[in-house]
Structure formats: C-alpha cells, structure tokens
Amino acid sequence: MATQSLRALARRARVPDWGESLVLEDVRGEVAITGIGETPVSGPSGRDPRTMALEAVAAAIADAGLRPEDIGGLMVSAGIRDQLRPEDFHAHFNTSQPLWFSTAGGAMIWAATCAHSAALAMRAGNARHIVNVFAVDWASRRAAGSGTPGDWHASEDMKARFELPFGWYPQPVYFATFARRYMHEYGLDSAQLAALPLTFRRHANRHPNAVMRDRELSLASYLARRPLADPLRVEDCCLISDGAAAWVMSPAEQAVDMPHPAVLVEGVGHGRVQGAPYISQQPVITATPQTFAAPWAFAMADTEVTEIDVIAVYDCFSSTALMQIEDMGFCRKGEGGDFIQNDRLFYQRPRRLGGIPCNTHGGLLSHSYLLGISHVVELVKQLRGTAVNQVESARIAAYAGFTADEGSTLVLRRGER
C-alpha cells in the first residue's frame, strides 16, 4: 500500500487536531522477527545492563538459528544509560563484521518503530539480520539511591523550573492527574479500573518468569489499599525491575527457512501529541497518542481492529493502558471501564468469545518493567503458539508503545510455513 494511501486511510479513521500521525513508508511483509531472547527479570539484583543485554542477544541469535557473525545490525534505545554498543558486541562474541548501529530501537515506542527502521536499513543494504535489544537495572539503581525512572524529568530544565516547584512529580502524580480527569469525564470508578491490574496479575501468577508470579491479588485487597496518588493505588503502577530482552529481525523471504514460524511485521504506526515533552501542557489528557498511531498501523497492515487476536499494551499505569485500548479502537472513548470487565482481557477469553486477551505475561504491572520490550517478545510467543498463557488460535497481534507524548503501534502476523 503506497504511503499516500496510508495517509488517506489513517486520516479518514480519526482526525483530531491535538496531535499528528508521523508519515511512515509502507513496509508490510518485508521484515520478520526470527529469534527472541530474555534474561530472568527481578527486583534489585546487582546485574550489569550490558551483561544482561549480551545474555538476551545471545539467546535471540541462537533462537533464530544464526551465529553472532551473521548479525549485521544493532538497535538500542537512546537516552537510557549503559545500553549495548557495537564494541561490546564484538568484544563479547569475538566478531569483527561491520555493524549498522541505530539508537532508534530498544523499548517503549521504539519497540514498535524499530521494525520500520530495520526494514529501511535492509532495503538500503546496510544489514540483513538486525538485533534489537534493551536492558535496564533501575531496580538495583533505585535500591542503591543512584537512579530512578523520574531522573530525566527532574533534570529537564523546564520541568525543574515550572512543574517540580508545584509538586507535579514524579510519574505517579502525572498519571493520577490524567486518571482523575478521565474518571470525572466518563464515570469510571476504582472497582472498574481494578480489572486491569487484577487480570494482569492473574497472568503473572501463571508465568514462571514474572516478578509477581507468587503474589496473588483480589479485588478486596486492591480496594483496601490506600491510594498512592489518588486515584491510583500501588497495583495500578508499574514495577521497577532489572532485566533484558532482545529479538532478531530478518528479511521475510529468509524467515521461511529459519527454525521457528516467521512472525511478520504487517504494520507500524507512530503518533505524537501537542505539548511534547511537557505533558502538563497537553490539551487532551483523557486520550493517548495511540489515537494517531493505531490507524496508520492498521492501514499499513490492511487489518481491522476486529481481526486482532491478542494485544500487549504499555501499562506504565492501569489508566494509561485503559485509554490506549480505547484509542486503538477496541471500544468507544469513555466505554473502556465497562469494556474491560467480565474477563474480557484474560487469555482464556479469545475473540470468538468476545474477548481481546491483553498483556498475557503480566505486563509492566506484574511481569516486569522492561519498558515494553518484553511485551513484543510475549506476542511473538503467542503467534508461535509457545506462550505460557497461550491464546486460542492467535494469528494477528498488536503492541501499543507509549512515552506520554508519543505512541506507536506494531501489528504482527504469524507467517505460513
């Protein structure tokens, strides 16, 4: 589908004036995820991010049936300290091939858009097999008092001058503001919102690698918890974790000869809202940038939202996940509280039973806080048919990435053998 046609379709889908869809070239079916790798995830562990990243990369390369010398590209996140570099890769694997390197990868929104960047790099002949990797040791850093996820916000000059002095910091306060406004406008109550953390915890309780695998959660215990930042309770807020994950992207035509069923990249969308990066200045706080990312991704994939079998949504906070589910088009704005009830997000309620299984590994709330890279790994497992909480007949999946001012959508499809 030509980029001009994508633009027309996406604009017809939604045309609000408080953000924009970034123009992306059509890369449908050009790239496949052919190998995945993970480390154990945990609280404070003392593990080094680059060591964890290399462990995940080695596992992903082996899973793809490749050797380290077959890798021609490396993608990581910009702005996150101690991410893997080409020299680390070569030193660890004793390799010397040229490595196309990009900091437009890793996690968050880039866990989706890295596939688009990789496709363009493959088109240009810069690389054939490209690894995307992300590692974080924020649990260890927070325990040692040497770093928190809020550090960037506290050090950014405008935020430090105009937000922090008024107490608008850190992230739970930001998103409690948004959640309260949403409740005011649409009538959502805490018992309805609880469906998200409760469902994701149930998934984590069944997952051997989830941080919260041994900690059950009931509605009564959730409601009895005093709010951390009203209306959000601690269970509505993401974990802080140590861990790493990676995957290998390969040309789709080669994927058919590799060990696992190909997971094809069908669509990628990228949206941005006004006021970035100052979320206090955003004109709409009851919706997310998925409003602008999802229509583009679905248009590129030539897929309707009703065809999606399983989703993984960036759940830094439960209310953010709820808004993104709405903004992707699974229900109308303001109807999310009712939509997520009755186990609709649970892995045992597939689309034929009216569900849309979500965050089947436990998500950021209960699996680990690897900023979304584990979400995509989980979707690959779902489409391979190897997930712990396997969704019935999963064929098409979607990931929703988020950074408050930007959003991304990745549509994946199981290829034919």
Which residues participate in catalysis according to the annotation? 314, 369
**HSE of 251 in the Cβ direction (CA atoms, 13 Å)?**
13
Residue type, 77: S
Evaluate whether 410 touches 112 at the Cβ level (below 8 Å): yes
Tally of CB atoms within 10 A around 79: 9
Structure tokens at 275: 């006021």
Rounded to whole angstroms, the Cα distance separating 202 from 128 reads 39
Evaluate whether 21 touches 296 at the Cβ level (below 8 Å): yes
Find, among 406, 309, 305, 322, the residue nearest to 365 by Cα: 322
Cα 258 from chain centre: 25
Residue type, 217: L
Tally of CB atoms within 10 A around 250: 24
Spell out the long-range contacts of 180-183 with Cβ–Cβ below 8 A and sequence spacing 24 or more. Answer: 180/230, 180/231, 181/285, 181/286, 182/285, 182/286, 182/319, 182/322, 182/323, 183/231
